[in-house]
Structure 1
Amino acid sequence: MIDFEVPIRGDVSEKNQVIFDDLKNTIGMVPNLYATMAYSDTALANYLQFQNGKTSFSTKEKEVINLVVSQINGCHYCQSAHTFLAKLNGLDEKQTHQIRLGFSNWDNKIDALVKLAKAVTESKGTSIEEELEDFYDAGYTKANLIDLILLIADKIVMNYLHNITKVPIDFPIATELEIETH
């Protein structure tokens, strides 16, 4: 296995050094997974532009999507990062666990979002008719569906990057969940 060390500021291009400085000034750190993207001279800037694009979802809804997709893809880094961020956006520990397990019993609209995000991620967009109908019945729109697909793609990029590189998690570690298999 190839060992991926997290690059530090001096290891990356000048363009990425500027991004590192901006991240440090904005959020107080350069998350290890972002730093790992800086092995490429273009990936980090491209990714941040994509990730920070406008969406029809609230920040809380984005974290819901991030949590369920990261759980399905087995990305412990993103489960940890987005549990932390979800809590900053009004979700509690029990709610983040439910979302990662693929449901919400505290909000019907969030439940429809979680179930569709899970179905799309697991099936790669096929056989989602029931979840899609529930999504629309909950008040979401076709615009929301398009934004959901983009947010799933965003999270898959980071999930796969961590699953391949296994760089250290620099967020509070998310609780491992007992997943029932049927």
Structure 2
Amino acid sequence: MPWHTFLARDVGMSEEDVQALEAGRPLTDARLEALRCFTNALVDGRGHVSEEEWSAFVDAGWGHQQALEVVFAVGMKVMSNFTNALAGVPLDEAVK
């Protein structure tokens, strides 16, 4: 997760929330927490989320477009991780 930590700090996420993300704890920002929970539910459910999970996501101000963006981001991350692992790509110096 070094790149995720680097990028979170780079966009101005609070250190408290960066540490919460790393530890799998709830975030202080309710909207970002809804996004985190939805993303985890989507991955854990292999694309399926409950009505409650969907409602919490939408109630936080997210919508169908953002849900598709989460699907896209998860897919790109899986492809990137698998490709880098197969190719033996070392971790970038910036995040070591």
TM-score grouping bracket, smaller chain normalisation:
0.7 to 0.9
Distance 1:133 1:164 in 2: 38
**Residue in structure 1 matched with residue 8 of structure 2 by the alignment:** 86
Cα deviation digits, residues 25-78 of structure 1 (max 9, x gap): xxxxxxxxxxxxxxxxxxxxxxxxxxxxxxxxxxxxxxxxxxxxxxxxxxxxxx
**Residue in structure 1 matched with residue 39 of structure 2 by the alignment:** 117
Q: CA deviation at 1:103?
A: 4.2
Distance 1:164 1:101 in 2: 27
**Residue in structure 2 matched with residue 177 of structure 1 by the alignment:** none
Larger Rg: 1
- 1:136 equivalent to 2:61? Answer no
**Residue in structure 2 matched with residue 172 of structure 1 by the alignment:** 95
Residue 28 of structure 2 aligns to a residue in which SS?
Answer: coil
Preserved CA contact (<8 Å) 2:21 2:27: no
Higher RCO (CA-CA < 8 Å; seq separation 6+): 1
Structure 2 unmatched ranges of 5 or more: none
Structure 1 unmatched ranges of 5 or more: 1-78, 174-182
Task: Give me the CA root mean square deviation.
Answer: 1.9
Decide which structure has greater helix share.
2
Q: How many residues align?
A: 94
